Amino acid sequence: MSYANVMAEKANIVRRATGLDFTTYAMGRLAFDYERMMADTGYDVAAARQVQRATAVGDTPLVELKNITRLVRALSEPGRGARIFVKDEAKNPSGSFKDRRASLSVHEAKQRGFPGVAAATSGNYGAAVASQAAKAGLKCIIVQEAFDSTGLAQPEIAEKTRACEAYGAEVLRTSVGPELFYVFLQVLKETSFFNASLYTPYSVRGIETLGHELAQQVKALTGRFPDAVVATHAGGGNVTGTARGLLAAGAVDTKIIAASVDLSGLHMASDHDFNRKSFTTGHTGFSLPFTTNPDRADVPRNAARALRYLERFVTVTQGEVFYATQALAELEGMERGPAGNTSLAAAMALARGMDAEQVLVVQETEYTGAGKHPLAQPNLAKRLGIEILRGHPRGNFPGKRIVIPERPDQMSVADVDLDHVRERYIENALAMLPPGTPLDPVDILFLAAETRLSPATVEEKIHAILGPA
C-alpha cells in the first residue's frame, strides 16, 4: 500500500472499480471513441429518467424569476432584458443536481453486485452519492480534501461532511494535495467498492436528463426552446451533460454558456491558497484546467468534455455571486446556496444584452445550510485577513479582497478567450505524445470534435504550436 505501489496499479484499480476497460475506446495516437464509450453505459435519456424516478431524483420545477427579470429590464435598454428562468435542482433528495450524477452510478453498482460505492469529492457530490447509496442499501465511503496543514476547514466542506455522515456514509478527510487521490485508490483497492467518479460515463449520462427536462419545460411554458442556458462550470460534467440533454430534446439552437467564479491567482493544490477561495466548486481553479486537460481526472478517459459544447465561457467575481444569492432570496423568496448561484450572477448580466422576448435559463440551484450560508464563507475570509467591502466588483482581488456590488447595474461578466482555451487544449493533448510523434487522421478529427474547430484549423494550430518540422 505504499504510494509508489498504489499509483503504479492505478489503471487496474480503476478498471475493476468502474467495470470499464477504457483501452477499448482508444483510436490513433491520442483519440478515443467518445460516443461509443457513452453508448456502452446502456442508458439513454429515457432509461436514465426511469432509474432516477425510482429514487425521487429529477422532475424538478422550472421557476420564472419574474422579479429579477423586472429588475434586469429596468437596467436595460428599451426592448432588452430576457426572461430569466431557473431549474430548481435544490428539490432533489440531497439538495443539488449532483443526485442525477450519483443515481446511475449507484444503480450500476447495485446491478453489478458491488458491496458499496466510493467517491472523492469535497462538495455536493459526496452527499448525493451517500444519499443514493442509502436508498440502494449499499455502503458508502467519501474521501474529502477537507483542510489545510493547520487543520482549518472551510465551513462549506464541513457542512458536506455532516451531510454525508447523516446519510450513513463514512467520510475520510484529507489535507490538500496529492494525498486525496492516493487515499481514494487505497479505498477502492481495499474495499472493492464501485468508483462513483464524477467523470465516468454514468455520471455524465445522469445529467443529460436535466438538459432534456429543461428543454421540454421551457417549450411547454413559452412555446419555444430556450435561447441560452447558463451553467456553472467546474470539472465539466454539468455543462457536458446538460448540453447533451438539450441536444437529445431537439434544442439544437440553444446557446450553451459556462460560468465560473474568477479565482485567478489562487492555486487549488496550494496549502496557503486552499482556504482563501470562498467557493469549493464552480470556479476557475477547476474549470480552466479541466477544460484544457479533461483527462487529468480519476479515470483514464473523462466523460466530461465541456469544450465540445461551449459557445461562450464567462467569469464573475465572488462578490457578485454573494449579491445574486441575496437577490434571489429577497426578490424571489428562494434561499439557495451560494455556489449554485454562480450561473445566476452571470445571467443577471447576460440578460441585459438579450432581447426581451428571449428566454435565458439558469440551469441549477443548490440547497443552503449552516456551512453553505452566504455569510459563512465570508466570515472565514475575514479570519484569514481577506478584506470584504461594498463597491464596484472591478476591485475584486482573489485571496485578498472580496467586493460585493452596491447596485445591480454593477453586475457584469468577463469573457474567457475560448480560442486561447482551444489552443491550450491542443497543446496539452500533444504533450501526452513523445516528441515528433505523427498524428493519424483520426486524431485530427478527434481534436476537431473536442474543440469545435474544423480539421484544417486544428492542423494550422498544431503547426503553429510545434513550429517548423
Encode pLDDT of 192-250 as tens digits: 999 999 999 999 999 999 999 999 999 999 999 999 999 999 999 999 999 999 999 99
Instruction: Count structural domains, the chain.
Output: 3
- Same domain? For 76 and 161 the reply is no
pLDDT digits 0-9 by tens, 46-59: 999 999 999 999 99
- Same domain? For 259 and 371 the reply is yes
Closest CA to 247 of 308, 201, 198: 308
3-state secondary structure string across the chain: CCHHHHHHCHHHHHHHHHCCCHHHHEECCCEECHHHHHHCCCCCHHHHHHHHHCCCCCCCCEEECHHHHHHHHHCCCCCECCEEEEECHHHCCCCCCHHHHHHHHHHHHHHHCCCEEEEECCCHHHHHHHHHHHHHCCEEEEEEEEECCCCCECHHHHHHHHHHHHCCCEEEEEECCCHHHHHHHHHHHHHCCEECCCCCHHHHHHHHHHHHHHHHHHHHHHCCCCCEEEEECCCCHHHHHHHHHHHHHCCCCCEEEEEEECCCCCCCCCCCCHHHCCCCCCEHHHHHHHHHCHHHCCCCCCCCCHHHCCCEEEEECHHHHHHHHHHHHHHHCCCCCCHHHHHHHHHHHHHHHCECCCEEEECCCCCCCCCCCCCHHHHHHHHCCCEEEEECHHHCECCCEEEEECCHHHCCCEECCHHHHHHHHHHHHHHCCCCCCCCCHHHHHHHHHHHCCCHHHHHHHHHHHHCCC
Neighbours of 206 (CB within 10 A): 34
Q: The domain spanning residue 292 has which CATH number?
A: 3.40.50.1100
| Pairwise CA distance, residues 133 & 137, whole Å | 6
Residues in CB range of 418: below 8 A, 6 or more apart: 307, 310, 312, 313
- Same domain? For 270 and 260 the reply is yes
In this predicted structure, the answer to whether residue 87 has a pLDDT above a threshold of 80 is yes
- pTM: predicted TM-score of the whole model, two decimal places: 0.96
- Same domain? For 12 and 145 the reply is yes
Partner residues linked to 145 by β-bridges: 174
Domain that holds residue 135: 3-49+96-201
- Same domain? For 197 and 298 the reply is no
pLDDT digits 0-9 by tens, 306-327: 999 999 999 999 999 999 999 9
| Of 175, 201, 227, the domain-final residue | 201
- Same domain? For 109 and 147 the reply is yes
- Same domain? For 410 and 381 the reply is yes
pLDDT digits 0-9 by tens, 392-420: 999 999 999 999 999 999 999 999 999 99
| Pairwise CA distance, residues 346 & 232, whole Å | 9
pLDDT digits 0-9 by tens, 250-306: 999 999 999 999 999 998 888 999 999 988 889 999 999 999 999 998 899 999 999
Q: b/e per residue, 420-448, with b = 16+ CB within 10 A?
A: ebbbbbbeebbeeeeeeeebeeebbebbb
| Of 183, 201, 219, the domain-final residue | 201
In this predicted structure, the answer to whether residue 348 has a pLDDT above a threshold of 80 is yes
- Same domain? For 137 and 225 the reply is no
Instruction: List Cα–Cα distances, 32 to 25, 300, 426, 444, 449, in angstroms.
Output: 5, 11, 15, 12, 11
Neighbours of 407 (CB within 10 A): 10
- Same domain? For 20 and 117 the reply is yes
- Same domain? For 257 and 115 the reply is no
Closest CA to 89 of 264, 341, 459: 341
Phi–psi pair at 461, nearest 5 degrees: -70, -35
pLDDT (0 to 100) of residue 62:
98
- Same domain? For 293 and 439 the reply is no
| Of 185, 201, 217, the domain-final residue | 201
- Same domain? For 352 and 304 the reply is yes
Share of residues in the chain with pLDDT > 70 (%): 100
